[in-house]
Amino acid sequence: MISGVAIVITLALSAVAALMAAEEAASTLVSSGRALRLAEADRGGAASLVALLGKAHRLRAVTALTAGLAYSVGALTAAWSLFVHTRLGVELSAVVGVAASLVFVYSFAQVLPRTFAVQNPEGVALSFATAARRIVGVLYRPAKLLGWPWRAAMRLVMGDQAAHSAWLTEDDYRAAQPDDEQSVREEAEEALLEAVSDFAEKVVREVMVPRTDMTCLADTASAEEAIDIIQRYGYSRLPVYHETLDDIRGVLYAKDLLAAIVRDPQVRPATLARKAYFVPETKPVQELLVEMRDRTHIAIVADEYGGTAGLVTIEDLLEEIVGEIQDEYDLEMPLVVARDNGCYSVDARLPVDDLNELFGTAIELESDTVGGVVIEVAGRIPEVGDEVEIEGLRLRVTELEGTRIRKLAVEPAGPNHDKEGHDA
């Protein structure tokens, strides 16, 4: 009878430990910003997830405590059962019981739930957040009480340096540290490494200047017209086309034009154009960067039908790693502008990855830009004032140019919206 009750208690504690292990593993892979977006969209369990992430050290402490309880009770139960029902003796029963409990708790209450959690972090985190929050509310005080003597001892030895909790998270630790030169350098290095990692996964289509934003020169243009465009936009290279942008004949370099005008003021710019370098829009950007170092600083991007999809410069590629590079000719406006009412004015050209990073969302659609997301979710060409909702965000069209979206207003969708995408 006693063994049966002990086994039930062991299984119950192991189940609690497994739940906490899964929640801890999943929550570490969900950003705080993403959790807030889910809470604003009124997703089940999101409010509890926000609370857990706000005090992640408590979740970690209780997870360790439940694992320890499950292992300890399991070891005692196994050892007692073996001693009573077999002839192994006290010592051997204890050894076998401890080993059996270690294998069981480690495998089924730690490895298995954590492996399950990382397959679908957001879903697991939301599913278990409410239960985990209640367990943390019950067990955190005992966990803190058990850790207090050791913290006190460390303070006696190390002083204020030992004031941190044993379950301190990386974000909490960084926040408590002074912004010295070394920490600033480390953060910059981490940001650069992350940018390089993201760069390796991109293709030309994601970084190119789209066809609609290209500034080109017709092959019938005069030298005066070419100079006017160069002065107006500040470009040192202009694609030269015949009749349509789908027929790019070459690239005119400003330095070639200026040198030729000195010799012949009536020179035709099209005759000075150098051979254009064409690349497919699906080409990995890291391969293109290597090629452009030795060949040219501008490439024409061709789509799958042989038409012109856009152009890409070596500056566009470098900006994906080091951020925006502004020179004296750049008059670019920021792609995102924060408003006083919590709303953001967003350029429709903003990459979806940047939107996800800014708002903590996980939008994964075929579209590469925010404007494309609106069209894809709406299923039609929208008009000014049209809205769509996705991942807890409301995207409203504020400016159109023909059928092309120029500007959007982005804000939280509110607590009553839980659909993946919705056309207002």
- The tokens describing 104, both together, are 């069981």
pLDDT along the chain (424 residues), means of 10: 76 93 91 78 86 87 92 88 79 88 90 92 92 92 83 68 57 56 67 76 89 93 93 91 94 94 92 94 91 89 92 90 67 77 87 86 86 92 91 90 90 56 40
Residue 407 parent element (H or E)? strand 404-412
Q: Which domains does the chain have, with CATH numbers?
A: 2-175 (no CATH), 204-322 (3.10.580.10), 336-423 (3.30.465.10)
Claim: this prediction has a pTM higher than 0.75: no
What is the DSSP secondary-structure string of 63-115? HHHHHHHHHHHHHHHHHHHHHHHSSSHHHHHHHHHHHHHHHHHHIIIIIHHHH
- The tokens describing 353, both together, are 């990855």
Per-residue model confidence (pLDDT) at position 391: 85
Task: State the Cα–Cα distance between residues 52 and 42, nearest whole angstrom.
Answer: 16
**Pair 417, 387: CB distance under 8 Å:** no
What is the DSSP secondary-structure string of 276-291? P-EEETTSBHHHHHHH
Per-residue model confidence (pLDDT) at position 294: 81
Per-residue model confidence (pLDDT) at position 238: 95
**Pair 16, 66: CB distance under 8 Å:** yes
**Bridge pairing between strands 278-280 and 298-302:** parallel
Q: Order of strands, edge to edge, in the sheet holding 308-313?
A: 209-210, 308-313, 298-302, 278-280
Per-residue model confidence (pLDDT) at position 329: 56
